[in-house]
A and B are shown apart, each in its own frame.
Chain A
Amino acid sequence: MSNAPLPPPNAEVVETVCQFCIVGCGYRVYKWPVGKDGGPGPDQNAIGADLREQQGPEGDWISPNMHAVVKDKAGAFNVAIVPDKSCSVNSGLASVRGGGLAQTLYSPDRGTKARLGMPQLREGDGFADAEWDETVDLGARVIKAVIDRWGPDAVGMKFFDHGGGGGGFENNWAVGRFFFEGVGTRTASIHNRPAYNSEVHAAGDAGLAPLTNAYIDAQLADTILIVGANPYETQTNYFLNHMIPNLNGDSLDLKRSTFPGEPAAPGRMIIMDPRRTISVATAEAAAGKENVLHLQIEPGTDIAVMNAIARTVLERRWHDVAFIKERAEWQTFEAYQRSSLGSDRDAATVVTEAAALADILEADIYKAAEWIAKPKSGGVRRRTLFHYEKGLIWGVKNYENIASIVDLGLLTGNVGKPGTGISRLGGHQEAYVRPPYPGGRPALNVDEAARRGEAKVFWVGGCNPVLTTLRAEAVEANLIERGAPVSKAIAETVGKPIGERVAAIVEALKAGGMFILAQDLYMTATARHAHMVLPAAQWGEMNLTSINGERRLRLYPRFMDPPGEAEPDWAIMGKFARRLNQLYQDDNNPLMANKFLDFDWRGDEDVFIDARYSYKGDGNDPMEGYAGITYGLLRDLGNNGIQTPVRLVNRVPVGTVRLFEDGRFGTPSGKARFIPAPRPWPGYAAAVERQRKTYRFWINNGRVNHIWQTSYHHRHIDFYRERYPVPMLEMHPDDAEELGIAPGDVLQVSNDMGSVEAMAYPTDSVKRNHAFMLFGQPRGAAGDLVTDHVDPKTTIPYYKGAWADIRRKGAKPAEFEMASFLPRNVVE
C-alpha cells in the first residue's frame, strides 16, 4: 500500500478511545463516502494538514493501516482512525495495536470477513445460519428446563467483565443482570480465569482499589517500581507518554512546579521481571543504565524479594511512621512485621535468603530499598509509584503476591499523594457494574464444575477459554465429550416441534451432556464446540463506555453498522431475558418471570443509566461510580472524559484524579490494613513443584506488543499475523544450541498437562532454562501446559508457573519466512 486517501473537510468526525489495552488512548475516527476523498491542501482535508509537503516528526499522518474501506448499510465508506493529539493519555501517539484499529473493522473484502453475521445453530459437524427468534427461543427453553430441573447453578457461564472493545458498562450490566438477578447462578467465571473473583483480593482487603493513581503520577514520581509487567509492550502509551518523560528528565519542570522546594531529579525505575524485556532496554535508554534496576528473578520468588526489600526499609527506619500511625490499622502492621517480614530473624539473613532464592544480588535488594524509600535530601520522603500486573497476579500465590506489594506501598506511605500510588498496570480496560455475584469466596471453580458435569448449560461470551484457561487441553476435551450427546439430540430432532427438541436435549443433559452457547465476534476455537453461536457487535458498532488505567471515563461512539444481524451483547442478553420472562409467564411462574423483567432497554444509554441508578450513581463506589453522567455529558467532555469515581457536588458531577487523597480507605475503620502472609515466601504448590522437578524449562507466558489477547482480530490482518504466525517461544541461545534449535524452527513443548507447538525465538532476554511463550494463540495455547492448581484462597491460577520439555520438531517452514528473529529487546 503506497497511499492513504485523505478525509475531506466535511468528513464525519467522531472522538473515540482505542478498543484494546488498559491505557485507553484517544483516537479520531473520520468517515466519508468512497470517491469523495479530500485533497493535500490544509483546507482540502479534515485533518488540516498541508500534505503538499513532507510532514516533520510528530506531524499529521494517516498511515495505510490507519485507513480502511467499510461497507455500511448505507454504502461503502472510507474510515481513517488517527491518534488524538488533544487526549492527555497519549498526546497523539499511536501504538502498534492502536495504529491498526481501522483494520479491525468489518469488511467483506478483507480478513475481517470472518466476522459472524448470523446466529449459528449446530448441524452435524458444522453450523447453519439461523434466525434470531428461533435461536433465542430454543436457547431460552433449554435454559428454563435446566433451571427448573437442576436449579440455577446448573447454568454455567464464562463472560468478559472488561471495558474497551466488546465490553463496557452497558454490556457488563446486561450480562450481570441476566446471570445474577435473572438466572441467579453461582457457576460463573470471568473471561480469563476459572472463577468469579477479584484478581487482587488482597488489595481490596487492604482497603485499596486496583487503580489508585493518575497517569500524571508517573511523571511526578521519584521512583517507579514495576513488578511482573512489560509496559512498553502491554501498557504502551502510559509507558511512552508518562513514564519515559520522567526517566529522561522531560518532566522535571512539572515536578518543580508541582512540588515547590522539594528536591527533584529525573525518575528512576525498578523492574522486577525474569526477562530482560524491551521495557528494561528502553528505560535504560531513557534514564541511563545507572537509573534503572532490573531484578531478573527466578519464577515465583517475587514475594520473597518484596518482603526482603520491606524488611530492609523497616530496618533502616525509612518507613512512613506518620502514615502508618494515622492511616493504617496498627495491629495489622505488627502482624505484618512478624510474619511477612520475619522480624524475629536477622534482617541480613532475610535478605540473603531472598537473594539466593531469586538468584539476584543482595546489593540489588538494598539498592531497591534505597530507591523506594531512602529520604531525599533534607529528609523529604521519596515519592514512589508501585505498579504490578500479571507476573504478580498470576504468580506463585495470588493472595500473598498482591499482599507483598500492597504492604510495601503502605509501609512507605505511597498512596493518595501526587507521584505515588499502588496500582495494577492493567491488561484490558475496565467498566465493572453488575449485581453482586451470588457465590461466596473463594469462588467456585467453573472449569471443575463443567468437568464434573454439574454445568448443564455453559455460556461463553467474549472470551475463548479453550485457548486461555489452565489445563486447557482437558477443558477442551470436556467440551467435546459433553457436547456430543447434545449435538446428536439436535441432529435427531431437526424439523421436529420445539417441545420435542428441548426434551431430546434435556435427555442428553441427563446423560452427562452439556448445552454450549458461545457469543462472540468470530467463530473462535471455543465457539466451534458450541451448539449455538450468537453474533456480537464490536467496538464502533455500538455505543459503549469504559474507564482506562487512571479511571478515565469516556464514550466510545458507534460509527458504523455491525455485520449482518450481529447485536451488542446487552441486546442479546435482553432478547434471552424477554423470552425467558414470557416462557415463565406462560408457565404460571411469576416469581421466575419477574427475575427477567425490565430487560427492554431501547438503546445503549438506557442500559448505561439503568446501571448507574442501580449501582454506580450513589457516590459510594470506590473506583468507578459515575453519578450524574450521561452520554451527552461524555460527548461534551470528549477524549479527556472525566476520572471516576464521579460524585455529585451541588448537583455537578465531579471526578477524582487520584484515590485516597482524603486518607480514608475502603475498610470499616477507614484505615488501611496490612495483609500479613504466614511467612516471607510460600514455596511452590505440590502440582507445580512436581512439574518443576520433572521438566527442564520454565514456560513463562504472556502477551507481545503486536498481538491483542487471543489474536481474535489480529490473526485476520496480515501485518500482525505475519509477525507471529504461530506463538513464538523465547529461549536462551545456549539452550537452543544445545538442543540443535535454530531461529524459526518448529518446537514441541510438552509436559504432563499437554503439548503445544511454537516457533523458536532464541534470545538472551531470558535466562538459561527459562522460556517465554506468547499466550492464548489459536495455533498454540500455552494454557495447555498449565496445571490445574489455583490459590485456594482466591481461586486464581498460577498461569505463569508451567514447566515443560522442549524439543525441535522441524525446520522453519515457509510460512514463517517474513517473521523476523532479530532481538526484541535491543534499542541502541
Chain B
Amino acid sequence: MTGVNRRDFIKTGAAGLAAATVASVAPPTSASQTTNYPAIDVAALDTLEPGAEVAFEYPDASAPSVLLRLREAVPGGVGPGKDIVAYSLLCTHKGCSVNFLSERQMLVCPCHWSSFDPAKKGRLIIGQASQSLPMIELEVRGGMVRAVGMDGLIYGRHTNIL
C-alpha cells in the first residue's frame, strides 16, 4: 500500500523538498485516507560505512527513527549492497525506544524486551509487540539516502502523518 503512495507522491512532484526538512502535510480527515509522505535526506551514501547507525526523525520531528547499514543484502534494503534499512525506533508494544545491538544485528526494547530483526523488515524475533517495527522506505538519489515512505503504523499514532 505504501509503495503505491510513494509512487503517487513522486508523481505529484512534491519530491523537491529541501533536504532534511520535514514536510508538513495537511492532516488527513479520516484514518483510512491515503497518506502522503515527505521525502527527506538522511545521509550521504558515501558516509555510510558497514555498521553505520544514523539517528533521524521521520516522518516528523516527534518520530525517532534509525538508519542502519547491515552486514548483508536484506529484503527492502537499498544502496549498492541492498544493505541499508531504516526503522521507527518506537517499540510497537508500548512505545519505549528500541536499541540497536550492532554485534547481534538486532533491535531490542529495554522495557519488556521485544526484539526485532532489521534484516526481516522489522519482524518480531521474540517479545510482546503485536506488530513488526515500522520500516521506513528509502531510496538513493544523487548520492543521498532519502526517506520517502513507511510500511507499518508508528506506535502511538492512528495514522503515520499527524
Contact = CB atoms under 8 A, between A and B. Distances in A.
B160 A64 contact: no
Contact of B159 (A3, A55, A61, A818): A3
A55 B134 CA distance: 16
B94 interface: yes
Given A94-B93, A826-B115, 14 more contacts: A2-B134, A5-B158, A54-B154, A57-B95, A58-B94, A59-B94, A65-B130, A232-B113, A704-B126, A705-B126, A719-B130, A817-B75, A819-B123, A822-B115
Interface in A1-23: 1-6
Interface stretch (A95-103, A373-381, A581-589, A770-778): A95-103
A591 to B, nearest CB: 54
Contacts of A815: none
B157 to A, nearest CB: 6
17 contacts: A2-B151, A3-B35, A37-B30, A40-B162, A53-B62, A58-B94, A59-B94, A706-B124, A719-B132, A723-B123, A818-B75, A818-B121, A818-B123, A822-B105, A823-B104, A824-B125, A828-B110
Contacts of B113: 232, 278, 281-282, 285, 827
Contacts of B154: 54
A824 B153 contact: no
Contacts of B40: none
Given A95-B128, A282-B113, A285-B113, A53 B150 contact: no
Given A3-B31, A55-B155, A57-B111, A705 B127 contact: yes
Interface string A209-235: 000000000000000000000001100
A236 interface: yes
A706 B123 CA distance: 12
B162 A57 contact: no
Contacts of B112: 93, 240
B95 A61 contact: yes
A260 B120 CA distance: 51
B158 A59 contact: no
Nearest to A62: B158
A63 interface: yes
A544 interface: no
A641 B106 CA distance: 40
Interface in B90-118: 92-96, 101, 104-106, 108, 110-115, 117
A651 interface: no
B152 interface: yes
A58 B128 CA distance: 13
B156 A55 contact: yes
B120 A826 contact: no
B129 interface: yes
B117 A820 contact: yes
A2 B153 contact: yes
Nearest to B99: A828
B128 A236 contact: yes
Contacts of A817: 75
B95 A59 contact: yes
Contacts of A357: none
Contacts of A100: 130
Interface string B7-41: 00000000000000000000100111001000000
Contact of A826 (B101, B124, B134): B101
A723 B156 CA distance: 24
B94 A64 contact: no
Contact of B153 (A3, A6, A705): A3
B131 A3 contact: no
A723 B101 contact: no
A693 interface: no
Interface in A56-107: 56-59, 61-66, 93-96, 98-100
A137 interface: no
Given A3-B35, A52-B162, A96 B117 contact: no
Contacts of A61: 95, 155-157
B131 A63 contact: yes
Contacts of B134: 2
A96 B120 contact: no
Contact of A59 (B62, B114, B152, B156): B156
Contacts of A232: 113
B31 A54 contact: no
A723 B124 contact: yes
B128 A240 contact: yes
B63 interface: yes
Contacts of A347: none
A51 interface: yes
Nearest to A233: B126
Contact of B123 (A51, A55, A99, A820): A820
A826 B130 contact: no
B123 A63 contact: no
A181 interface: no
Interface string A785-828: 00000000000000000000000000000000111101111111
A752 interface: no
B46 to A, nearest CB: 29
B115 A827 contact: yes
A54 B162 contact: yes
Contacts of A565: none
Given A54-B157, A93-B94, A2 B129 contact: no
Interface centre among B32, B119, B129, B158 (most CB of A within 10 A): B158
Nearest first, the 3 closest Cβ-Cβ pairs linking A and B are A99-B130, A55-B156, A820-B117
Given A4-B153, A61-B95, A63-B92, A54 B32 contact: no
Contacts of B115: 822, 826-827
A825 B126 CA distance: 8
B121 A3 contact: no
B129 A58 contact: no
Interface centre among A55, A240, A282 (most CB of B within 10 A): A55
A93 B31 contact: no
A5 B31 contact: yes
Given A2-B150, A53-B62, A54-B62, A818 B95 contact: no
Given A6-B158, A53-B162, A56-B156, A820 B96 contact: no
Interface string A591-613: 00000000000000000000000
A514 B154 CA distance: 54
Nearest to B116: A820
Interface string B81-96: 0000000000011111
A62 B157 CA distance: 8
Contacts of A51: 156-158, 162
A370 interface: no
A491 to B, nearest CB: 45
A510 to B, nearest CB: 53
Contacts of B30: 37
A233 B113 CA distance: 11
Contacts of B35: 2-3
Contact of B129 (A54, A99, A282, A828): A99
A262 interface: no
A281 B115 CA distance: 13
Contacts of B92: 63
A615 B92 CA distance: 45
B131 A64 contact: yes
A719 B94 CA distance: 18
A722 interface: yes
A2 B152 contact: yes
A806 to B, nearest CB: 23
Interface in A389-420: none
Nearest to B152: A2
A37 B28 CA distance: 13
A282 B127 CA distance: 11
A93 B113 CA distance: 13
A63 B132 CA distance: 10
A805 B45 CA distance: 49
Given A2-B2, A817-B75, A828-B101, A96 B160 contact: no
B108 A54 contact: no
A278 B75 CA distance: 27
A54 B2 contact: no
